Structure 1
Amino acid sequence: MEYSRIHKNAVKAWMIGRIIFLTIFFAIYYPVVYKLLMPRFGDMLTVKIGFNGLTFLFILFFLVNTFIMPMIQYKEWRYSIQQDRIELLNGVLIRSKVVIPISRIQYIEIERGPIYQIFHLASLDINTASDSHEIPALTLEEANEISQKLKTMIEMSDDVD
């Protein structure tokens, strides 16, 4: 079975989204910790070391999550559309394989947030009665083609039933 990949601009889009989150997080974290909490503890060295250690761990985690993880996630993301099912493969530490029977699909949505619009990307949301699944970072043309293909497949499976 052949799997398709998502668009390579996913890495840039994910990085920008995480940089925005990181900026907001530290815009709140720094004043709260260093201007509000630390002065209340005065010269307690243990508290200063604790807060500085926590800040270092946050920075390290966010740097890895922002600049390394998107590249790994991109390499691990695959999808396949078969006659009777859709298969989604993703995950870095925990690998996930989701199989969605075509007959279970209730509706399909194409979403484009502001960052995806910059990179001419879209995500395809596939909704069943019990869950929602996403194929991220497709070109708008790919998302429309897949959506149309799935709609045709759903109609054909309805006609058979």
Structure 2
Amino acid sequence: MSNQSESKIYKSIDKKAVKTWIIGRSIVSIIIIAVYISVMYLFVIPKFGHILMLKYAIYILALIIIVISILESFIWPFLEYKQWRYGIFEDKIELIKGIIIRQRVIIPISRIQNLKIEQGPIQRIYEITSVNIITAGGYHEIPAITLEEAEKITENLKRIIEIGEKNE
């Protein structure tokens, strides 16, 4: 199969990924900000609050954490969704992802050791799931696809792996 025709076979993840990423990352951001504020106001400011430079540093760091949290929670999911693609071919799986650093991960099907379908609580609400692909070299994920699509992918990959094992 040529590169040009393969590129047409790449699929996007489900649009609901954006919502689940926003919710999940917002929860994490709120926890991080709450811990930071608690530590600063309970421990650091009471002891060292008289040092003006330290006070300014604490506020500047808080501002940086909030800005990064807003970007990570509300901007990044839209950009990330637009970049995420996956393709499943007869001999490999390709994952294309990344915003600043674009990654193209190629997983030979013969290297797959385990397949898992996982669904977190936020994914369950939005009726999407993830397929985890485990190889000797690591762990890869196709996030935010429908359960039906995840089951098709795992069954198809199992079939391809079984055919490959019979041919060896």
Structure-2-length-normalised TM-score: 0.93
Structure 2: segments with no counterpart, 5+ residues: 1-5
Correspondence 1:8-157 to 2 at 5 A: 8-157=15-164
Preserved CA contact (<8 Å) 2:115 2:134: yes
Which segments of structure 1 move beyond 2 Å, counting only runs of 4 or more? none
Separation in structure 2 between the aligned mates of residue 100 and residue 42 of structure 1, nearest angstrom: 53
How many residue pairs are counted as aligned between the two chains? 161
CA apart distance, 1:40? 1.1
Report the 3-state secondary structure (helix = DSSP H, G, I; strand = E; otherwise coil) of the residue aligned with 2:79. Answer: helix
Structure 1: segments with no counterpart, 5+ residues: none
RMSD: 0.9
Deviations 1:23-68 (A, max 9, x none): 2112211111123211211322111111000000000111001000
Separation in structure 2 between the aligned mates of residue 149 and residue 127 of structure 1, nearest angstrom: 16
Separation in structure 1 between the aligned mates of residue 20 and residue 139 of structure 2, nearest angstrom: 21
Structure-1-length-normalised TM-score: 0.96
Q: Identify the range of structure 1 (137-146 vs 28-37) with the bigger mean alpha-carbon deviation.
A: 28-37
Deviations 1:51-101 (A, max 9, x none): 000000000111001000011010000000011111000011111111111
Separation in structure 1 between the aligned mates of residue 94 and residue 124 of structure 2, nearest angstrom: 26
Preserved CA contact (<8 Å) 2:13 2:143: yes
